[in-house]
């Protein structure tokens, strides 16, 4: 990075720093929200650190200490690749402050490289949480030499660079292909969806191939051999492993040198096309064949829901995060109808002694785990951003506004949720009465997701964002909605499966429906109080 890049990066970090805002802001409510964000993220980091330390200790007790460095490199790389792939559109392309940045005396390549480094710096806390936790576990069981610690820490800073660059380049190709098309946002979203689905399909294809090959299957039965096989494919993990274990200077230089060289190589074509891609993504095509037709009359709530639909389809980042669960629901539902449900259960649960009858009461919760982990109502209040004053000036009440936002989330989730539940019920041969009760439970879960998401979205509204990713993926509203919801759903799946062995299935579903309905009603009443 040159001097201009460092100046620009420092300015971006200062302008978006929550600590900087807290230090100079005089608004007590905003300071309270920032403190809440710090506490929430601290809890998340501590949970991640505890999980990684526990994993490392497990490897140590299984006498697999030698694979800890490679496992650390692989884990960091996978997370860096996935998170960057979903953030590329919002950070590198089509971002809100584009016009301001491009008016500064910096080249397009410098701006693009700086935005990448900004994305890298923002992801460092997650990377360091994983790496430092695994280093603690490795230190406990391997008792390495003193030089291992600085080498591990220094190379950790370079571990996420290569996967992030690869994900950014894929995002660049997707943006470049879709930028010149009329429905650019939809095309960009579809291409990203297809790439994500291809990754999952490749994973299952490799697993199926491995099971067909007896020699490969024997090798994959060993965790150590599996890690070594991955190292032979993904060289950065091998370089990190050998640098830490053997103090290989050549591997240290390879990891550092390739990261820097790849950064320089990738941002040459990105810089050349950067201005044209962003200009095309921000432009809107006008149809020459447009004809004035009678305008449809909608209620206020339906009009707001339609506005939210247009907002979602206009943002690839929003569509990917808000619609990925629905896509997976369709795929799982179709897979359940096409393939034998017992074989699917055995494949997903790795031949665990679980039958389809045991999963009857958990079917709505399984679908909800896909549908309900992201609620648009946790996002849309903050997405109004600096245009919130326009919404406030409209001749509608806050109650009508949030009714419309909740209505859109119900329109989005209910059809997919019912479809997925019906497919699993038909495939598992669930009795008609039980299937009907499960659909009712599914509707209650969608209502709870909508109302609880709206509570989180209103209470933790953030309007001073500069990039929509800060609202869609990194806001406290999304975190507070998602994590308790996710863990509670996982716990409920286990609980209802266990209870299903001793209680009537229909009774379990009815009790669960009543509890969820009560929570949905209480959440809705809370929304009404917040709108007063």
From the number of C-beta atoms within 10 Å of its C-beta (0-12, 13-18, 19+), residue 4 rates as: middle
Q: Is 283 left (phi over 0), alpha (psi -120 to 50) or beta?
A: beta
CA distance linking residue 431 with residue 527, whole number of Å: 37
Cα angle: 452, vertex 318, 517; to 5 degrees: 20
User: pTM score, two decimals?
Assistant: 0.65
Residue 37 DSSP SS3 = helix
What element of type H or E holds 379? none
CA distance linking residue 365 with residue 382, whole number of Å: 28
Residue 17 DSSP SS3 = coil
CA nearest neighbour of 138 among 34, 65, 88, 226: 65
Residue 215, Cα to own-chain centre: how many angstroms? 36
pLDDT at position 411 is 92
Mean pLDDT by 10 residues, the chain (532 residues): 71 73 73 73 77 79 79 85 74 65 72 80 85 86 85 89 85 66 54 55 48 43 61 81 85 88 80 67 54 65 85 76 83 83 64 66 88 87 76 79 91 92 88 91 93 89 74 78 83 85 87 93 91 78
Q: What does the pLDDT look like over 259-302, one tens digit per residue?
A: 888 888 877 777 676 666 666 655 555 555 556 566 566 678 88
Distances (CA, A) of 165 to 60, 252, 254, 351: 32, 19, 16, 37
Q: What does the pLDDT look like over 183-232, one tens digit per residue?
A: 545 555 555 555 555 555 555 544 444 444 444 444 434 556 666 667 77
Measured over the CA atoms of residue 47, residue 472, residue 441 and residue 529, the dihedral's sign is positive
CA distance linking residue 163 with residue 417, whole number of Å: 34
pLDDT at position 409 is 92
Cα Rg, the chain, nearest whole Å: 25
b/e map of 424-458 (b: 16 or more CB within 10 Å)? bbebbebeeebbebbbbbbbbbbbbbbbbbbbbbb
pLDDT at position 217 is 44
Give the list of residues 6+ apart from residue 99 with CB closer than 8 angstroms, or none. Answer: none
Residue 320 DSSP SS3 = helix
pLDDT at position 107 is 75
SS (H, E, C) 84-101: HHHHHHHHCCCCCCHHHH
SS (H, E, C) 135-200: HHHHHHHHCCCCCHHHHHHHHHCCCCHHHHHHHHHHHHHHHHHHHCCCCHHHHHHHHHHHHHHHHH
Q: What share of the chain is helix, strand, coil (3-state, %, to 5)?
A: 80, 0, 20
Say how many Å lie between the first and final Cα of the chain, rounded. 51
pLDDT at position 205 is 47
């Amino acid at each position: 990075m040159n001097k201009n890049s460092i100046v620009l990066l420092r300015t971006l970090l200062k302008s978006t720093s929550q600590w900087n805002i807290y230090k100079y802001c005089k608004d007590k409510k905003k300071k309270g929200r920032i403190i809440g964000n710090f506490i929430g993220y601290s809890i998340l980091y501590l949970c991640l650190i505890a999980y990684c330390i526990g994993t490392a200790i497990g490897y140590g007790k299984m006498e697999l200490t030698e694979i800890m460095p490679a496992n650390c490199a692989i884990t960091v790389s996978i997370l860096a690749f996935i998170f960057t792939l979903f953030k590329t559109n919002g950070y590198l392309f089509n971002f809100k402050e584009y016009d301001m940045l491009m008016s500064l005396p910096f080249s397009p390549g410098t701006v693009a490289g700086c935005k990448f480094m900004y994305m890298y710096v923002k992801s460092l806390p997650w990377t360091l949480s994983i790496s430092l936790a695994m280093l603690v576990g490795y230190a406990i069981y391997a008792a390495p030499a003193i030089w291992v610690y600085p080498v591990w820490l220094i190379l950790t800073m370079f571990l996420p660079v290569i996967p992030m660059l690869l994900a950014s380049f894929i995002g660049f190709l997707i943006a470049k292909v879709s930028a010149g098309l009329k429905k650019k946002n939809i095309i960009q979203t579809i291409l990203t969806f297809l790439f994500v689905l291809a990754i999952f399909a490749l994973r299952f294809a490799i697993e199926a191939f491995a099971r067909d090959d007896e020699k490969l299957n024997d090798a994959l039965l060993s965790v150590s051999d599996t890690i070594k096989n991955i190292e032979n494919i993904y060289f950065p993990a091998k370089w990190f492993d050998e640098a830490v274990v053997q103090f290989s200077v050549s591997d240290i230089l390879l990891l550092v040198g390739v990261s820097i060289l790849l950064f320089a190589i990738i941002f040459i074509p990105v810089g050349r096309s950067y201005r044209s891609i962003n200009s095309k993504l921000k432009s809107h095509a006008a149809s020459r064949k447009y004809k004035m037709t009678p305008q449809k009359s909608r209620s206020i709530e339906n009009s707001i829901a339609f506005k939210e639909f247009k907002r979602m389809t206009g943002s690839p980042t929003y569509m990917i995060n808000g619609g990925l669960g629905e896509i997976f629901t369709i795929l799982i539902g179709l897979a359940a109808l096409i393939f034998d449900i017992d074989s699917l259960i055995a494949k997903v649960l790795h031949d665990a002694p679980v039958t389809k009858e045991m999963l009857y009461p958990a079917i709505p919760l399984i679908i909800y785990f896909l549908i309900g982990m992201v609620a648009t109502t946790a996002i849309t209040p903050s997405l109004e951003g600096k245009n919130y004053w326009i919404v406030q000036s409209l001749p509608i009440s806050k109650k009508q506004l949030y009714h419309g936002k909740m209505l859109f989330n119900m329109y989005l989730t209910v059809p997919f949720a019912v479809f997925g539940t019906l497919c699993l019920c038909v495939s598992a041969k669930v009795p008609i009465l039980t299937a009907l009760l499960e659909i009712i439970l599914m509707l209650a879960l969608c209502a709870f997701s909508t109302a609880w998401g709206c509570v989180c979205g209103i209470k933790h509204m953030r309007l001073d964002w500069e990039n929509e990713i800060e609202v869609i993926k990194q806001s406290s509203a999304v975190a507070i909605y998602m994590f308790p919801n996710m863990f509670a759903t996982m716990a409920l799946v286990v609980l209802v499966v266990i209870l299903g062995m001793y209680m009537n299935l229909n009774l379990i579903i009815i009790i669960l429906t009543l509890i969820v309905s009560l929570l949905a009603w209480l959440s809705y009443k809370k929304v009404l109080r917040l709108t007063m």
